[in-house]
Every structure is written in structure tokens, then in C-alpha cells.
Amino acid sequence: MKFIVIDALARAGGERYSTHDVVGAGPRIVAGIIYEKGFKVDLKAYEAVLDDPSLLKRYDYILISAMSQDKGALERIIKIAKKNNPKSKIVVGGPISFEYKDILKKYSEIDYIIIGEAEIPLTKFLEEINSGNPKFKEVPSLAFRNNNEVYLTSPPVHTPREIISMNKPWVFIENSYPNYRIYRYYVEVVRGCSNFYRPLLVDDKYKCVECMVCRNAPLKYRLKCPANIPPGCGFCSVPNLFGPARTRSIDNIVEEISSLIKHGARRIVLSAPDFLDYGRDLLVSPDPLTDPCEPLPNLEYIQELFEAINDLKTKSNHKVVFMIENIKACLVNEEVAKLLGKYLSGTTIHIGLETADYGYNLKVLGKPIGLKSVIKAIKLLRKYGLRPYVYIMYGLPYMNKKTYLKTIKSIRILSKLGVEKITLYKFTPLPHTAFEHISLGIEKYKGLINKLKYMVNKFNYSRKKKSLLGKRITVFLLFSRGKYYGYPFYHGPTVFVKGIKSPNFSGCLAEVEIYDVAPRFVWGRFIRIIEC
């Protein structure tokens, strides 16, 4: 049996609109499981399959990893798959899998959907295939059609920490991703989220009884809500789909990163919904980690991870950069910031504010973090050489005039703190969240939203102008559709690179000089090739 795993994450309707240089952890984990079980498997980027659909003729099983936003890309790829290989079996996974009922009803081409985390159900699925007489009803968390009805074998299962730490994700990136050297490869260090607060909602679907179990009860009791309100921030599905935070072992992480470097990776992101959850679950074990802010980070364990990774950086002659992405402001103190600065100085770091109305965040979003804690975190991170980014959202349910005005006012405050970028998101209802069925409240506050957009764009333009205009930076080059794009070595805005005549420098490291900026992008003049 031959398998192919197709990475269709963040392809939306069939094309990436942002994060062009990202390779997520999920598809590599899936391909690694299949490879370790002794099957023939390939991992291919979505674009590689579109460029050569005939390659699908080689495979018996076609596995596609996608998110809820990727339905257009999913539809496109399954039609191509059935056209080129009608006998193949199509298996879908990833965050989109939780919509299995609608997906199986809508797309007859799909044979199976693995719901949620892959380790346990995929392993059993492979065992059944290998048996020669597969009994798929014995595979947990598997959905398929049975007598024209959608059948689910069991609810999703969360993978124990010990099994996550046995993973050997796919590392043969040179065979999977075009221009594989330019990407940021996400290496999972934490799965799940520690925020098991709930929004205190009263609406048609969820009616909070204000028992406060999710906020005050012992950790293990916070997993269940008497009103069945999904855990976590109302707009986010991570804790509901992937459970409480679980730490992957240091040795397992280092083994993966070392192999990725050998195969050409130069930019590694230590991936987690919140990096500072790393090792925190060990502090409360055997209870689950279901509190977002207590206990404080496990600095000893984080430092041990950083030391091991720093050895890899030294061995690579500092040709590899390591980054983290998201952290919660309530977990940042002087010791945390100092440790992050010691090993990650010069890299970006993202903090979720969402709104500057703490009361709204706490009650409506289920997020016990406000502007005060974000300001404190920014000051400390900047002090130790980090580059803070801040997330803000608009169009959230129950946002009112007061919440918008406080958030607009916060832009001026953030601008004085040295924040490098503010990322403004429009709320989109996601399945399996508390806000799934709540309609957008945009029209009523359109004027305030436009003012917020204006303030954020003005801020981002001003910051780029001040920090980048006239500066020389190092970027990885990508030639696409007749143009060169540059992705900063240490992360940052995409650069439209001018002045290169040859199309043969994709994947090369280059020096460019920034000569123009906009709120989201910058333009750079090619100076020289550093390395190919």
C-alpha cells in the first residue's frame, strides 16, 4: 500500500493569502506515523499536487490535512484526486475533521475522516489496513458512511503526553516542499491549551449557570461544564478540540529539529498555542493543566529545552534561527522575559490582547487577560531584546461602544511601548466554539471599526517606516509568478524584492535594502546574494 499526505493547511479557496512561508506540524506528524509503521508514504505540499496531478496515480490512500477555512482547497484537491485515481481511498484530517457530518454529506469523494488527533486512530487504521481484512468500525475517532448514514466510531481521543513524545514527524522536507529552505517549520512542543475558562454567555445555545467551576474549581473538574459551554476563549476551538496542554519531551523535540536541519531547514518555530505552557502541565500532574495563568511557567524545563536547541544552533554555525510564536501575557514576569531574551533575542513574539476592555475579555471572551498585563509583558519583553506583536480583534459578539473606544485608545498606548506590529483580525465564527452560532455585530459599530482599522494601519505604517526604511535586512528569496518575495530570516513583513534579473535564486539567502513601506508589506532593493 502506498500513501500520500497532502498539506492543504491555510490554502483557503485554493491559494494562500498570508503566512506563505509556513509549514505546519500536523501533516508532518501524520506522514511520520505512516512512515514509522513501515508503509510507503510521501508528503507533498498542496501546490506540488496542483502542478502535477498525475503523481496521485501512484497511491492507494490519499490523506488530506485541512482547516475549516480550507473547504475550497479541499474540494479542489478531492476532485483532482478522483479524476486522476478513481480507485484511491481519500482520508481527511486536521481541524476540519470536526465538521465530519457536513463534509461526508457534501463530498461523496471522501471515504474516511479521522477526527482530531491522529496518533491513536491513525495507528489503528493502519493496523486494520495491514490485516488484509480491515474492520474500520474498530478504529476510534473514525467517521465514514454506513448504509448511507454518517457513522462515527467514537468521540475524539486526546493523545497522552507519553505517546506525543514518541512521535517522529516527517523530516524529508526536500522532497515535500518546493524551495524548502525558505520555510518556517513548526515543531510541536505543546499540544492543547491551558485556558479552560468559559465565556459567561446567555444566548440561544448556551446558558451559563454561573457556577464558576471553570474558574475556581480544582483543575480536573474544569474539564466539564454543566451548561456544556466549550472551554477557552469564545472565538477559539483549540481547548475544545485538542484538550488541555500537554508537553512533548525535550529529547523527542531535539531529535526532530536535528533531523530537519540535516535536511535543509533553516527556520524553526517551537509551536504551541502558548509556548509558556511548556512544562507547566508537569507542575500540576497528574491533574490536567486547565488554568491559563497559574502556576507560573516551568522555567527549569524551558531552559533545559533552550540549552539543547542552542547546541544545535552552535553546531550549525548559527545558520539556523529558532522562534516561538504565541504567549499569554499573564505568564510573563521578569524571570520569564530574561530567559526568553537570553535565547531568542531579536525574534518576534505574539501576545493576544483581543480588546482593551478587561471586563469584556474576562466575562464575554473567557480570557482573564487585559491591557494592564499586556503592557507589563511588552515592557519586559522589549527590555530583554524581544520584538512584541499584539493581536486585536473586531466584530466579536457583544462588543459595544465602550469596548471599541477602549481598544481604539489602547493603540496610542501600545505605540509608545515599542510594539513592532499590531495584527487586527475580523472575528469569524468557528465550529466547536462558544461563539459558533452567534452572528456578527459589525454594522452597528461600523464607524468605530473603521476608526480602529485606520489607527492600526497608521501605527503599522509608522513603525515600519521608523524601524525598516533605509535598513538592510537578510531575507530568503522566493520567485513566484514573475516576482521575487523575501521572507526575513528572523521573521517580519514580507518584502517585495526588486532588482534581480535572474529567476534562479529561489531559496537563496540575500541582503536587501528597504526603500518603501506600507502597513502590511515592504519593498526592498536587492543588494547581494549571501548564500545559496
CATH for 480: 2.40.50.140
Residues 31 and 42 occupy one common structural domain:
yes
172, part of any domain: no
Is residue 185 within 8 Å of residue 268, measured between CB atoms?
yes
Residues 225 and 373 occupy one common structural domain:
yes
If phi over 0 gives left and psi between -120 and 50 gives alpha, with beta otherwise, what is residue 507? left
Residues 462 and 485 occupy one common structural domain:
no
Is residue 366 within 8 Å of residue 399, measured between CB atoms?
no
Element (H, E) at 93: strand 89-93
If phi over 0 gives left and psi between -120 and 50 gives alpha, with beta otherwise, what is residue 443? alpha
Residue 519 preceded by cis peptide, ω within 30? no
Alpha helices in 285-391 (DSSP H): 299-315, 334-344, 358-360, 371-383
Please name every residue paired with 486 in a beta bridge, in sequence order, or none if there are none.
477, 495
Residue 369 in grid coordinates: 487577560
Residue 60 in grid coordinates: 492507494
Residues 426 and 518 occupy one common structural domain:
no
Q: Strand 246-247 to strand 190-191: parallel, antiparallel, or no bridges (unpaired)?
A: antiparallel
Instruction: Look at residue 318 and tell me whether its pLDDT is greater than 80.
Output: no
- Read off the amino acid at residue 408: I
- Read off the amino acid at residue 263: H
Q: Strand 89-93 to strand 112-114: parallel, antiparallel, or no bridges (unpaired)?
A: parallel
pLDDT digits (tens, 9 = 90+) for 264-292: 999 999 999 999 999 999 999 999 999 99
Instruction: Look at residue 90 and tell me whether its pLDDT is greater than 90.
Output: yes
Is residue 46 within 8 Å of residue 6, measured between CB atoms?
yes
Residues 351 and 323 occupy one common structural domain:
yes
Give the chain's mean pLDDT. 94
Is residue 386 within 8 Å of residue 425, measured between CB atoms?
no
Residues 215 and 150 occupy one common structural domain:
no
What angle is formed at CA 407 by the lines to CA 372 and CA 236, rounded to 5 degrees? Answer: 85
Rounded mean pLDDT, 301-329: 93
Rounded mean pLDDT, 78-87: 95
Rg (CA), the chain: 23
Three-state secondary structure call for residue 246? strand
Number of domains observed in the structure of the chain: 3
CATH for 123: 3.40.50.280
Three-state secondary structure call for residue 363? helix
Question: What's the pLDDT band for 205 if we cut at 50, 70, 90?
Answer: confident
Q: What pLDDT score does 18 carry? A: 53
Q: CA dihedral in degrees (316, 268, 28, 109; nearest 10)?
A: -140
Is residue 23 within 8 Å of residue 172, measured between CB atoms?
no
Is residue 377 within 8 Å of residue 388, measured between CB atoms?
yes
Residues 482 and 347 occupy one common structural domain:
no
Residues 388 and 359 occupy one common structural domain:
yes
Instruction: Look at residue 101 and tell me whether its pLDDT is greater than 80.
Output: yes
Parent domain of 226: 183-466
Spacing of C-alpha 70 from chain mean position: 14
**186 C-beta neighbours (distance < 10 Å), count:** 21
Higher pLDDT pick, 273 / 492: 273
CATH for 287: 3.80.30.20
Question: CA–CA separation, 225 vs 197, rounded Å?
Answer: 10
Question: What's the pLDDT band for 19 if we cut at 50, 70, 90?
Answer: low
pLDDT digits (tens, 9 = 90+) for 174-186: 999 988 999 999 9
Cα distances (angstroms) measured from residue 200 to each of 189, 228, 362: 31, 12, 9
- Read off the amino acid at residue 290: T
Rounded mean pLDDT, 23-35: 97
124, part of any domain: yes
Cα distances (angstroms) measured from residue 309 to each of 190, 257, 324: 16, 8, 12
Residues 128 and 209 occupy one common structural domain:
no
Rounded mean pLDDT, 506-532: 93
525, part of any domain: yes
Q: What pLDDT score does 323 carry? A: 95
Three-state secondary structure call for residue 4? strand
171, part of any domain: no
Residues 356 and 490 occupy one common structural domain:
no
Q: What pLDDT score does 17 carry? A: 53
313, part of any domain: yes
Residue 527 in grid coordinates: 543588494
Nearest Cα to Cα of residue 479 among 444, 504, 499: 504
Residues 192 and 264 occupy one common structural domain:
yes
Count, residues in the chain: 532
Residue that is last in its domain, among 448, 466, 484: 466
48 Cβ neighbours under 8 A, 6+ residues apart: 55, 176, 177, 178
Instruction: Look at residue 497 and tell me whether its pLDDT is greater than 90.
Output: yes
178, part of any domain: no
On the CB side of 103, CA atoms within 13 Å amount to 33
169, part of any domain: no
Higher pLDDT pick, 473 / 16: 473
Question: CA–CA separation, 307 vs 152, rounded Å?
Answer: 44
Handedness of CA 311, 315, 318, 324 (dihedral sign): negative
Q: What pLDDT score does 492 carry? A: 85
Question: What's the pLDDT band for 388 if we cut at 50, 70, 90?
Answer: very high
Listing DSSP states for 95-142 in one string gives: GGGGGHHHHHHH-TT--EEE-S--HHHHHHHHHHHHHSS--GGGSTTE
Alpha helices in 345-434 (DSSP H): 358-360, 371-383, 401-415
pLDDT digits (tens, 9 = 90+) for 397-455: 999 999 999 999 999 999 999 999 999 999 988 888 999 888 776 888 999 999 999 99
Residues 71 and 136 occupy one common structural domain:
yes
241, part of any domain: yes
